Structure 1
Amino acid sequence: MREVVFTVVHEPGVNPVADLLADYPSARLRSLACHVTESTLWRVDRASGPTAALDELEDLAGARYFTDCLVRDGCDGDWETTVLDRTDGSLVLYSYWERTPDCDSIPHLAREHFGDGVVLDETWRGRRQQWRVLAPDGPVSAFIEDVQEVADADIEFERITDPDPEPDTELPPKQADALTTAVEAGYYETPREIETYELAEQLGIPGSTLSYRLRRAESWLARQYVQ
């Protein structure tokens, strides 16, 4: 079993749910169930917090309640959200989403990389949407790179457990390319001749993706050295 824990940090004005939760620091949104197929997603969420926050969140249910879509400008998919239960301090929502080619989500990416049997847990406070992915098998590094490349937000990886019983005998191409470019550009010189963000722009990838590829490449080199 492999576990990946990371947080999607949404910028102001990008995701209406994130903006709402940021206005109410004591409010929280957590997934109670999340199921995904190749083309659909359905989930049950429970929100807790002040009455005003729940009122506004209930108003978002429908066309603007896209907690899973990673596309900045929203999603054109067929999305339906229904209120299942409402009390003074709690709101339970059911959502169903038919995926389109222009939209993607953490659950869909997880299923594509790990197959059936993926368990997803999500907790959202303010602009910080934390995901915990438990998967029986699959390439963790490839999943992470796809999340970084698709998500139009900052990604903070907090914990990654990958047994890796048979380490790669060769450095993966994307990591090798990042490492080669970094060396040639003077990234490892003292003092450093190029900053991370400049190197990322040169490669045409987000800075978080570059940092992750370099860390993995450095880890691979270290293992090769001590063998």
Structure 2
Amino acid sequence: MRELVFALEYTPGTNAVADILADNPETKIRSLSCHVSPDTLWRVDYVTGRESALDDIAETVADAEYYTDCLARRDCEADWETQVLDRTDDALVLYSYWSRTPSCTSIPHLALDHFGDGLIFETTWVGRRYEWRIIAPGDTTYHAFRSAIESEIDDTTGVTFVRVGDADDAAPDDGATSLTPEQDAAVRAAVEHGYYKTPREIETYELAEKLDIPGSTLSYRLRRAEAQLAESYVADHSSSPHLSSPDA
């Protein structure tokens, strides 16, 4: 499998959700699922942050002039809706459904047009930086897709390509846990500053500032490291009775 990681950067006043996130740096939107067909897009997102910020986001996505994931910065007459599936004081779960029109497109639709079915999408939105990770078949080439994104977005939105490569590059051949130097540094800093303590002693954006890297980059490195460490743990303890199947 191949992966592409890139980030959109919204300038002030060009995306209402980005403006809210920029004013509330502790607030983050992370995709739980994202699916696309030639004509539709549906996704579920998990939002964490202060209650006032969650209120603003819920109101904005329900009343926006155009769908948040639409790359066109105008009302392109698409049929879309966003519903609140769950809500607590510090978390919000949103479901969105969008029907594509000829003048309106999105990143998942561009990916579908270029790569075909069977794609996996993962997104993290902090501040004005909206990071995407796409997993596609191993023979995928991304040059045309990159050009398509750059031609679709307008002058108010920048795009930065973070990584292109094999999705399993970080996995060692011998089954041992091996983090990249960047992942190792991120995890060590997170432990040192109490990121994994309960209650958490430092937020992601604060830790990112200490490391002098974008918050989305830190989140990506921690997620990849945590996933690899968890997979390694399960593999090493596969014979544990606590991990055995109930039918075993």
**Aligned residue number for residue 107 of structure 2:** 106
Aligned partners of 1:5 and 1:157 also within 8 Å: yes
Aligned partners of 1:63 and 1:80 also within 8 Å: no
Secondary structure of the equivalent of 1:71?
Answer: coil
**Aligned residue number for residue 156 of structure 1:** 160
User: Where does 1:60-79 land on structure 2 (aligned, <5 Å)?
Assistant: 60-64=60-64, 66-79=67-80
Aligned partners of 2:17 and 2:61 also within 8 Å: no
**Aligned residue number for residue 4 of structure 2:** 4
In structure 2, C-alpha distance between the alignment counterparts of 1:17 and 1:100, rounded to whole Å: 22
1:49-103, CA deviations, whole angstroms, 9 ceiling, x for partnerless residues?
A: 0011001111113241733111122442011111000001100000000011111
1:156-190, CA deviations, whole angstroms, 9 ceiling, x for partnerless residues?
A: 01111169xxxxxxxxxxxxxxxxxxxxxxxxxxx
Secondary structure of the equivalent of 1:62?
Answer: helix
Where in structure 1 are there 5+ consecutive unaligned residues?
164-227
How many residue pairs end up in the alignment? 163
- Give how far 1:139 is off: 2.8
**Aligned residue number for residue 169 of structure 1:** none
**Runs of 4+ that moved beyond 4 A:** none
* 1:144 corresponds to 2:149: no
* 1:57 corresponds to 2:57: yes
TM-score (norm 2): 0.63
User: Where does 1:20-39 land on structure 2 (aligned, <5 Å)?
Assistant: 20-39=20-39
Identity %: 53
**Cα distance change, pair 74–126 in 1 and its aligned pair in 2 (3 A):** farther
Aligned partners of 1:62 and 1:79 also within 8 Å: no
CA RMSD between the two structures: 1.5
In structure 2, C-alpha distance between the alignment counterparts of 1:44 and 1:2, rounded to whole Å: 23
Where in structure 2 are there 5+ consecutive unaligned residues?
168-248
